[in-house]
Structure 1
Amino acid sequence: MADLPPHAAEIAAEVERLAAAPVAVTERVAELFGVLRRLVPYEAAIVQVVDPERLRFDTVGAVGYDQATMTHLLGPRQYEEVELLGLDRDGPPLRVRESPVPVAELYSWSEHFAPAGFNEGIGVPLFGPTDRHIGVLALHTEATEHPTDAARDFLGLLAPVIGEVVDPMRSVAALARIVANATAGVVLTRAGNAVELAGLPDHPVLRPGSPVLHAAAGSLAEGEPHAAFLCPDHSGAPYRDLLRISVLACPDHVPAYLRAVVLVSPPGDLHGLTRRELEILGMLIEGWSNQRIADNLVIAHRTVAAHVEHVLAKLAAPSRTLAAVRAFRLGLYVPRSLTERQTNRSAR
């Protein structure tokens, strides 16, 4: 390894400070650019985080590029070139002169970076815990002597901490702490996949393809910051056979493919409502009539009517509509999709 570059200790301390700063990722990245300029006197810099579902990158901070280049950096060719150069794998930083592919064959270089006057640059793959690919940091320079060997090697040492600076999951993990008694959780993507949530274990009801994840996606209306509902628990936990599912919309500054945090916790105060009444509330929220509920649950119409009367009394609601509104707001219902699944299972 080459000798450490000038001011290495101060630069490392500044990056460590940014990694711990309780501000939005865009603010951390803006400060990061200022710190890294002391290491590499760049003319342009960008941090991009990966969107694995759309096979593209989202930009969380950039300086020095024209609009055409920025448009290119958000497109599929940029994603393909990152793969081609191996910057999607955990490894050392890569300078342009060390490219495994002739730079003339790289669209981004021949059509954007070289015409803009850049003669060198470096890409730094960024990874988080459990080898999770976060994204890429790139710095471009007009001077061919930069980045130096020392700067390249030091960026490699800093890469894990820079990953903490730009990791969008930090904001998501902070969001999860809103539900203090959560016992498990995942991050739900727009494609319906479940991504590991740091600090919380998985749970059987949150596995990929789970009907609970499907219900969670449907419970969060556009623009609403949170929702909650109850689901049957078949894991044997001592929570009166129900779990509370809290759904918290991801903040705007995280990558668009991350939709919501989905958390599992004990059911809390059920206001005296029985499991059957909570299931019926799920159908009332959808505007179902007593007869339709009876047919779906294979019970008598009069039994449904009695349950509804009990629901109105326990929620202190003078009407079915208000009971449904209160139940939805408090998360005191089992979604119909989960009730139907259990009904079908029982029928077999």
Structure 2
Amino acid sequence: MPVLLITRSSSVHEAVVPLCAAAGIAAEVCADPDLSLATWREADLVLVGADLAGPVGGLAPPRRPGVHVVGAPPDDSAFRHAVTLGADSVVDLPDGAAWLSGALADVGERGSPGRLVGVVGGTGGAGATTLACALAQWHARRGPTLLVDGDPLGPGVDRLLGMEDLPGVRWEALAETSGRLGAGALREGVPRRDHLGVLTWSGLRRRLDVPTVRRVLPAGVRGHGLVVVDLARQGGAGIVELADRCDDLLVVTPATVPGLAATARLVADLGRAGRAGLVVRPGGLGDADAERVTGLPVVAAVADQRGLAAALDRGLGPLAGRGPLARAVRDLLADAA
């Protein structure tokens, strides 16, 4: 029983039940507050009509996520009852129907959010996009994965994976929408091959719309076990915000004096000490030097891989064969888990 609707109001019933039917979700309507407690815990989503929010709150049901008060334009009493119930929100109907449709679209999705991993190059040409693609390819063998292209000046993650011709929504289309984005809608809408979905641009003129990203990333982690974001090195406060949203941030850098110097400046701007780590590429300096200069721990070292450039040119992705990159991403994802 995915949705429990507690109300005696015909207007609330007529507003909510059709939305459940449109989402293909079963709903149980209960007009007796006392009887509602029997299925209070089991429902994926609990919608309490404003007309019964007071009586239901008086029963002191156990606190749980996914409770919303729905009904007429809210007043002070609706908010007081919502606090008593521990509700997540108060939704005005019918004005809030679009938001409620998005919430219903997520019913039955993952019980816990996926992990959000950001990858950024400490200097140009460090191989951040390649690592992001490799992480996504590896995890997609095991479950739903979303690779987000957050670098407008990058090559395009879809091109490296040979997915540029697959149908699906791109950044341009999402930027033209508004409101809550459902996890299922995003997962099914982006270009996808098996368990791997990608979100990038469709043309040469690219601009990362940060408000759209704020809607996309929460939907992505609700519908995927792993979301990998290929971040741009430059982008101002927007990139800093995106990096801060990541559970883990991997900074790719060559172990060279110029590379580490540039990486140190990037790390200072991001301010992510404690949740960021270095992925070191070959160079003349050691891990201790890299950690001393940047202030970040080395979490992986990736040697040069024979045939990698040819595999990317052919759209096979970085994990077309075995090599040091495959071993590195395996260990990185195991540590993140």
After TM superposition, the score normalised by the length of structure 1 is 0.25
After TM superposition, the score normalised by the length of structure 2 is 0.25
Q: Which has the higher contact order (CA 8 A, sep 6+)?
A: 2
